[in-house]
Structure 1
């Protein structure tokens, strides 16, 4: 069984695809910075790393070589902290690019946005990708941006595009919009839809904006897991700017204790 099946209670997402040093000087860009951040976040209570890699200019890339380097160095530096890579398109990469990444590397875990992987309508290629991951024992987390995408997920499972095993999802509250503030009530449609569909996935939540902590507290109280970090929010619960990702992890770790 994969170490990310089931999900850890807290996963840290320290950088994402869009923010850089101009947004916060402690946001990790290089592999060395990501490992140092991961070490501090693990000490603060994180059970896994949601990892993005960046090129020499700091841009988000789907680069198998960089991911392999990060994973290898993480295993040496912090062997107890599993790594989840991502296929996030970030408005740049195609479904074919995402599938190509996953042919070049077999990670321990990967997050895949349903709406991005199926954007080209090539269900046969998507099926090969998802089933290859399942056969290799890769823990796939399905990223869902609204409740209706749960219905879509069920449809694709029924069609055989996605294997019906170890179903793991991330409910995303909000978007990459300037001034976005998600609210705990944003979670309700996801939970209601899952109940209507008879789904009982291993679920987690991430939330954009300054109400991230409140959203994560509600998710945990309702039985969900937490993804926290600078990918989605730079603020502490009191509205102040967090010193670093470890401060965000420590705050939610204290909250759930």
Structure 2
């Protein structure tokens, strides 16, 4: 274990990101409806996924932060996979107005334990992220702090409630495998210097997805895979579905 990883406790969770902001046309098996998300979640859990990250949709097909849409998606997934943690996104692109987004997320507090997400990701590079994270914590929902850039580490360290984060997401941006792994190493080193002890989940996207997953596995960090992050398997062939990506990730982690 190198200097970048000392001080963090490896948990080795593999989370599956089922759909993200992708359009249904991006992949024939991209789950969009609550029913499709539930079916995919069950297949991915059977393949080895230990948690789910989803972007619920409204009736018109667009991403939604409305409590009713969140509740239906979470409830259906919970019915298919009892006891498996379910998380959602709070991305600013879903509802750009910070006050409106804060109000929608605050309304999740009224959801029942069965329909309320276990956690939600908050991108620290987005305006108003502190109020969004506060609203989640006040609603009893875990915060995954999304670190995309070095300055996000400083933002997180300065936040008074940073120690309450469920985990920190180190989300590399480069589509180049080597550059993405270097980003991961740099972010982890910066986080180590802050003294924060929340578990880390390290992942990449597109061309960097598989390299970063392998890097995370080698260093004992949680990671994730799914159609949100990549449409292809490690050999470059298009994945049949999310479960195929999870199976390939489990194989890769076992073979590290």
Q: Shared topology, TM-score over 0.5?
A: yes
1:103 matched residue in structure 2 = 106
**Where do 5+ consecutive residues of structure 1 fail to align?**
1-5
- CA shift, 1:228, in A, is 0.9
Say if 2:232 is the partner of 1:256.
no
- CA shift, 1:165, in A, is 2.6
1:3 matched residue in structure 2 = none
Q: 243-252 or 189-198: which moved more? A: 189-198
Any idea what the Cα deviations from partners look like across 1:114-138, whole Å, max 9, x if unmatched?
Answer: 222526xxx6xx2xx5445435542
1:210 matched residue in structure 2 = 207
- CA shift, 1:194, in A, is 1.4
Any idea what the Cα deviations from partners look like across 1:143-169, whole Å, max 9, x if unmatched?
Answer: 111122111111122xxxx35334511
State how 1:82-93 maps to structure 2 within 5 Å: 82-90=85-93, 92-93=95-96
Q: Which runs of 4+ in 1 moved over 6 A?
A: none
1:154 matched residue in structure 2 = 157
- Residue 25 of structure 1: SS of its match in structure 2? coil
Provide TM-score, normalisation by structure 2: 0.84
For residues 94 and 77 of structure 2, what CA distance do their matches in structure 1 show?
28
For residues 222 and 147 of structure 1, what CA distance do their matches in structure 2 show?
20
What is the Cα-based RMSD across aligned positions, in Å? 2.2
State how 1:217-232 maps to structure 2 within 5 Å: 217-232=214-229
2:14 matched residue in structure 1 = 10
Provide TM-score, normalisation by structure 1: 0.83
For residues 65 and 163 of structure 1, what CA distance do their matches in structure 2 show?
29
State how 1:97-136 maps to structure 2 within 5 Å: 97-106=100-109, 107-116=117-126, 118=128, 126=131, 130-131=133-134, 133-136=136-139
Say if 2:241 is the partner of 1:237.
no
- CA shift, 1:25, in A, is 0.5
Say if 2:53 is the partner of 1:65.
no
Q: Flag the 1:8–1:60 CA change in 2: closer, same or farther, 3 A.
A: farther
